Amino acid sequence: MTSRKATSGPADPRFFKRAGPFDAAALAEAAGAELVPARAAPASAGGYTGIAPLQGAGPTDVSFLDNRRYAPLLEQTQAGLVIVAPAFAGKVPDHSAALVTSTPYLTWSRVARLFHPLVPAAPGVHTLACVDPAAHIDPTAEIGPFVVVGPRAEVGAGCIVGPHAVIGEGVQLGRDCRIGSHVVLSHAVLGERVCILPGARIGQDGFGFAVGPNGFETVPQLGRVVLEDDVEIGANSTVDRGSVNDTVIGAGSRLDNLVQIGHNAQLGRCCIVVSQAGISGSTVLEDYVTIAAQAGLIGHIRIGAKARIGAQCGVMSDVEGGADVIGSPAMPFREFFRNVAVLRKLSKKASSSPQGGADKV
């Protein structure tokens, strides 16, 4: 019987494939960081074999520090190689080498990807998949069990389509896309390297109806969803197809789990939409907009480039580029917290007045 005991450190080998070992020079070159050798001991002779947090790392592990509050852990770490900002380079223990960089988290990401590269597609169509004869599957793509691929659908080179996914009629996947289990794609065109996590629904009917004499009448949704290159869609998120115009998610954008994007919405490049946020139909986000968790945006508004929408924010009008807003209705950060301070002051004043407190019967 296989042991259920958890292994120490990250990247359990039951779930994550590992490459390496790598020497410090190779890691420094790949990450674009400056290598500072250990002062009291040579770097690991056999190279570095993996990554680990500061408090759990050993002599053959690579670790990193990106948050000042964890600085005490740096002085105690046993890691053989530590990624740090220049401000912390002098606090790296004598037995540890350092990769010094102005962007420690980005460097950490690149090093971690070296040790744990994306698993390549295993070319072929599973015997339990159902692929329409009129579909085109690139011979280098991987089609998992119980996948359904509709007529005239196209699956590009190097794609991986997970179990029980549905690739609807006419859907196009560019090269190296990764489609998770139970994803449903319809009326959609995907660029290259698009990643969709399990359970997402892309290209379903938008929420459109007209009021007739006998009640609601559904309006046909005749647009598509266009996911540009390097878009990532989180688990159980939904992106509705357009009613007439396309719904577009711009290149490099990231949608968290449980996000709703309404029909005709237009997201620019490298936008971020965090969990449980909802964007109503025909709203436009320019490039590099961030929408925090549980925010809600009404339809037919424009959010300017690099604007940031705070958590649980209710946005009911246009937001200028570069603005930071919070609250419902949304307002600039400073105005919101000034209002909060005034309300607290008034509340304390009322409670301390002779007539403050509970009403007397």
Active site residue 263: yes
Distance from C-alpha of 115 to C-alpha of 49, rounded to nearest angstrom:
8
Q: DSSP state, 92? A: S
Residue listed under structure tokens 């050798």:
37
Judge contact between 252 and 216, C-beta under 8 A: no
Strand order through the sheet with 34-36: 34-36, 97-100, 81-84, 61-64, 50-51
Give the residues across from 262 on adjacent strands.
none
Judge contact between 41 and 60, C-beta under 8 A: no
Polymer length in residues for the chain: 361
Judge contact between 248 and 282, C-beta under 8 A: no
85 SS3 class: coil
Q: Which helix (H) or strand (E) holds 25?
A: helix 24-31
* Residue 244 CA, distance from chain mean position: 28
Catalytic residue among 126, 136, 164, 263: 263
Distance from C-alpha of 82 to C-alpha of 244, rounded to nearest angstrom:
53
Give the residue numbers marked as catalytic. Answer: 263
